[in-house]
Structure 1
Amino acid sequence: MEAVQKKEGIKPFFTLLTSIQIPKWALVFGLAMSLVTTIVGLFVPLLTRELVDGFSVESLSASLIAALAAAFVVQAVINGVSIYLLSMVGQRIVAGLRERMWLHLLRLRVSYFDQHASGQTVSRVVNDTGIVKNLITDHFPSFVTGIITIIGAVAILLILDWKMTLIMMIAVPLTIAIMIPLGRQMAKISRNLQDETANFTGDVQQTLGEIRLMKASTAEQVEKQRGLLGIDKLYGLGMKEAKVYALIGPLMYLVVMVVIVMIIGYGGIRVANGSMTTGSLVAFLLYLFQIIVPLATFARFFTELQKAKGATERIIDILELPQEEETPGAETDISGKTLRLENVSFAYANGEPVLQGVSFEAQPGQMIAFAGPSGGGKTTIFGLIERFYEPTDGAITIGGVPISEVAIASWRDQIGYVSQESAMMGGTIRANLIYGLPIAQQITDEELWQVARMAYAEEFIAAFPDGLDTQVGERGVKLSGGQRQRIAIARAFLRDPKILMMDEATASLDSQSEGIVQQALGRLMQGRTTLVIAHRLSTIVDADKIVFIENGRVTGTGKHRELIDKHLLYREFAEQQLT
């Protein structure tokens, strides 16, 4: 219960904001100028009082008019600078917040992205931080200046007439009585609205990202209904939010008007009996308006604060997630070392075992192939070797050293991964070839063409009018499957990996593309430790060792001929495919 209360309180919000490095000079000068603005503004009603009480054509001296004009101009200029500086502070906080989230997301474990739609995460980074940004940049500056204005105005009013000031203070408990329940309601609505916005963003991104699947499946009606349902939910929550705002505005207006009428009525009586001058009443009303205007913005500020609290909870949830553990120490060269899995077991978050007691070793330069029924755990083994996941039991070592003791960046830099899907980033062929390489590393066009030649990709790249600068489209949709595979192989050549992993690298290709890609892969495999997953046994019959996996367990190990002789299921696979 204490944890829940802590999470829902305001403290986490301010703790998160103060953890961001901000330009303190801008904050100090912005607040100082707000103070100056307030002081200058507080002189205006006093000057007006003198003008009203001694009003006559003869009393309109040039010096009095100049003083009033100067007060207005100085107040406007300094107030503008103050708002700008405080807005700068707000923008810096939000930029720092987004930076922290982005850097944290990049280091999150793959298991997080297995369980959360990317669109929802994008919504946290963009929409939730946007809510915090609106509070800080749009409402916080006026809140700070309003606080200073109210304090100064109330102090002067107490000196001018404490009785009328006490009448005015009736508005305080009334305002609190209105804001507290409405604020709680706004916080609840805001949390629901942010969750639904994240869900809707995730659905939209998923549908548009798989637009070809949607159209090929004639799923327009399904997606139409799902999209409209999401829009209706957002509309409903938006209307609930509008109801709260619709209550806050009129109620605050009612309180303000009641106070103004009471002040005017009481002040009028005192002017009539001579206990107050007309100028003093005018000055009092001007000070009252200086208080009322900030109070009106406070209502909006506190409702936005409730929304920002909800957004902060989601942001903190992400920032508290465990990251990949970066192993300290120098880079480790893994060339010429044996990769070994010893009794490795693994289960995903739901507790269902995926691998149980898997053991094998890959000597330097060997080709180790994995075969077996789909869903047996072959791709999971690759995920463990890549350190996307950590084994629940057993050990993975390189040269006798647990891979968890090797710096994770150094480890992955020395592994090449060519998958069936040939993942590509939107952008150019050049950008995809050098993706992930250090920015400082200068890669020449000659080197790029060389690896393209080695991957049998030079011909089709050169045929494009823009060559290496050809745009490949989102996820490489402008290229064929064989072209994407060859670019992935060229990228692997450029990285010069010590261990090469291939997951169904030719499974989705036509026979002509498969032949070309197989030649490219043959080149890439030379002199490297290679791990291969293949359903087509024809691609692995020459492997140094074949590991047959069923239901997460190794049921057979050996060369192709050995497994045919002693492993019944492998023999059936071979008879179906090779006969």
Structure 2
Amino acid sequence: MNNNIEEKASFKKFISLIKSTNVKKRLFFTGVFLTLIGTAGSLIVPLLTQMFIDGFSTDLITGPLLALIIGVFLVSAVVDGISYYILAKIGQTVVRSLREIVWDKFLKLPVSYFDKTKSGESVSRVVNDTSIIQNLITSHFPQLISGVLSVAGSVVILFFLDWKLTLIMFVSLPVSIGVIIPLGSRMRKVSRKLQDETATFTGAIQETLSEIRLMKSFNAERYEQQKGRQGINQLYKYGMKEAAINALLSPIMSTIMMFVIILVIGYGGLRVADGTMTIGTLVAFLLYLFQIIMPMTMFAMFFTEYNKALGATGRIMGILEMNDEKSGDTSHKELSYKTLEFNNVTFGYDKTPVLENISFNANNNQKVAFVGPSGSGKSTIFSLIERYYSVWSGEIAVDGVNIDNIPLGEYRSGIGYVAQESAVVSGTIKENITYGLQTSEYTDADIARAVEQSYTAEFINELPDGIDTEVGERGVKLSGGQRQRIGIARAFLRNPKILMLDEATASLDSQSEKYVGEALNELMSGRTVLVIAHRLSTIVNSDKIYFIDSGQLTGEGTHEELMASHDLYKAFTEQQFGDD
């Protein structure tokens, strides 16, 4: 995928990407105009120097002349500083907008994208790739503008000063182009590899650090050390290739420019000797030549940075061109979530179907359990209900409305999900309970009620900071039972119409299970409840049970009905739950 994205990168794409940030054109042209003024000031100085040298006399060294020269220097410097700040501000604003666009896009992408892409690689796109573009815009682009104006102005003035000497300077042009183009092409390939390796390495270290307990408990430090060093060495290798190109580019350009200076001094010296050129003109010529040489070296650096930015642009544009998660915006009646139906649903993650022609229904005030061997497709059913994925064929409907035609935010607001291990993010307990809700959607009384109903108050009241206690990354400062109760409190606060439980008490100790079980019983009241069953008590108390085997629904009914009519269910139940 990356190679294709890289091939699509172009100057047109780069400009299109910058335009999408709604850059302030008036401010941009103000910065360019001030740059023009500052450059014009710097172009005047060599002419004043020529006049001063050619007409050298103690009588000419007057206060007004010295004040004029110093004033031109100061005004030029001040204007250059202001213009640089304006253009740098534009660059920072563009990158801020670009990061907002990329971040917003990530939040809209479907779960299937994140199934295939490490989170660290996505982080690299938001941070590293945008930083490359930022570096080009804020550091190199302002220098490019002033450099182009300086070179253009200097060349025009030089032609007026002495066109023969100016032509000698252009000897370096084809040589410079012959050096910059192949090295720039090589730099583009190296920088592309470097960006890929940076994204891969970022993903790997983020994955390792997020599972630091797994690594330490299995003594995997040496393995991760070797893997990390492989990634670091890859970055080093491509970084050195990039450095080698720059190491070639800088001295080659310097040598070319030095050769030009020697030619100009030699030829100009002969012209001064035979009286066809004044010393002042030669000095002015050399001053203008330096105003050309400095930007020319910078142009070479800009070209390499531009090629790096093209690679970053290709990756960012590749992400922005991906399809968003289906939102569903068809008009429909107000939902009550009284019924949930699967009608001949078939779905798979790759080319192999995981569910085949699944049909079932669940109604309000019903507790529906899904039972079956591991890998039979039970969790996939929950993922489809959440609309993490789109079905291959068939239909999922709520109140008779295809869920693909319901606005996604509205649809998900009616669904609550409590997994075996509830997800907890870094922040306070309160921030985790209210996660995803706007402050206008709940009150402190609502939070207090959710805390009481979920039995979360049992441990919150014992904490020094209470509900404002920091839980640590992924809730590492909490026990499994505490995290579960926070997840249930979160579900209580949302007040979902459809509640999905991946048997939330399965991995808890007896005391935590008591609290969580009581909270779940209260939470399930008056709702449509879907349960992936891991305990016999869950199955026995269900209004309806669906047995899933190898992606197919092979039996349905109450526990007693299936025990009497479904041999595989009976054998599975006795094998799985015989000790319950």
Q: How does 1:449-488 map to 2 (within 5 A)?
A: 449-488=448-487
Q: Distance in 1 between matches of 2:448 and 2:539?
A: 29
CA spacing shift, 1:185–1:363, aligned 2, 3 Å: same
Whether the 8 Å contact between 1:86 and 1:137 is mirrored in structure 2 is yes
| Aligned twin of 1:305 | 306
| Aligned twin of 1:215 | 216
Q: Distance in 1 between matches of 2:6 and 2:99?
A: 25
Q: How does 1:105-504 map to 2 (within 5 A)?
A: 105-328=106-329, 333-335=334-336, 337-348=338-349, 350-444=350-444, 446-504=445-503
Give the 3-state SS of the residue equivalent to 1:314 in structure 2: helix
Range moving further from structure 2, 414-423 or 10-19 = 10-19
Structure 2 spans left out of the alignment, 5+ residues: none
Range moving further from structure 2, 185-194 or 159-168 = 159-168
Per-residue CA deviations over 1:529-568 (Å, capped at 9, x if unaligned) read: 0000122222221111001101110011010111111111
Q: Distance in 2 between matches of 1:497 and 1:18?
A: 42
- Give how far 1:3 is off: 7.8
- Give how far 1:238 is off: 0.7
| Aligned twin of 1:68 | 69
Q: Distance in 2 between matches of 1:83 and 1:559?
A: 75
Q: Distance in 1 between matches of 2:540 and 2:438?
A: 37
Range moving further from structure 2, 528-537 or 201-210 = 528-537
Q: Distance in 1 between matches of 2:51 and 2:457?
A: 87
- Give how far 1:363 is off: 1.1
Q: Distance in 1 between matches of 2:297 and 2:491?
A: 62
Sequence identity (%):
53
Q: TM-score, normalised by structure 1?
A: 0.97
CA spacing shift, 1:208–1:331, aligned 2, 3 Å: farther
Whether the 8 Å contact between 2:5 and 2:315 is mirrored in structure 1 is no
Q: Distance in 2 between matches of 1:248 and 1:522?
A: 72
- Give how far 1:25 is off: 2.1
Q: Distance in 2 between matches of 1:4 and 1:560?
A: 54
Whether the 8 Å contact between 1:26 and 1:88 is mirrored in structure 2 is no
Q: Distance in 1 between matches of 2:6 and 2:130?
A: 22
CA spacing shift, 1:409–1:540, aligned 2, 3 Å: same
Q: Distance in 2 between matches of 1:39 and 1:477?
A: 62
Q: Which amino acid aligns with 1:371?
A: V
| Aligned twin of 1:17 | 18
- Give how far 1:311 is off: 1.1
Whether the 8 Å contact between 2:87 and 2:142 is mirrored in structure 1 is yes
Q: Distance in 2 between matches of 1:204 and 1:46?
A: 58
Q: Which amino acid aligns with 1:403?
A: I
| Aligned twin of 2:100 | 99
Whether the 8 Å contact between 2:337 and 2:414 is mirrored in structure 1 is no
- Give how far 1:35 is off: 0.8
Q: Distance in 1 between matches of 2:439 and 2:183?
A: 52
CA RMSD of aligned residues (A): 1.5
Q: Distance in 1 between matches of 2:150 and 2:111?
A: 51
Q: Distance in 1 between matches of 2:462 and 2:493?
A: 21
Q: Distance in 1 between matches of 2:150 and 2:121?
A: 41
- Give how far 1:78 is off: 0.4
Q: TM-score, normalised by structure 2?
A: 0.97
- Give how far 1:24 is off: 1.6
Instruction: Tell me how many residue pairs correspond in the alignment.
Output: 576
CA spacing shift, 1:331–1:157, aligned 2, 3 Å: farther
Give the 3-state SS of the residue equivalent to 1:440 in structure 2: helix
Whether the 8 Å contact between 1:367 and 1:545 is mirrored in structure 2 is yes
- Give how far 1:20 is off: 1.7
Q: Distance in 2 between matches of 1:331 and 1:401?
A: 8
Q: Does 1:567 align with 2:563?
A: no
- Give how far 1:8 is off: 4.2
Q: Which amino acid aligns with 1:422?
A: S
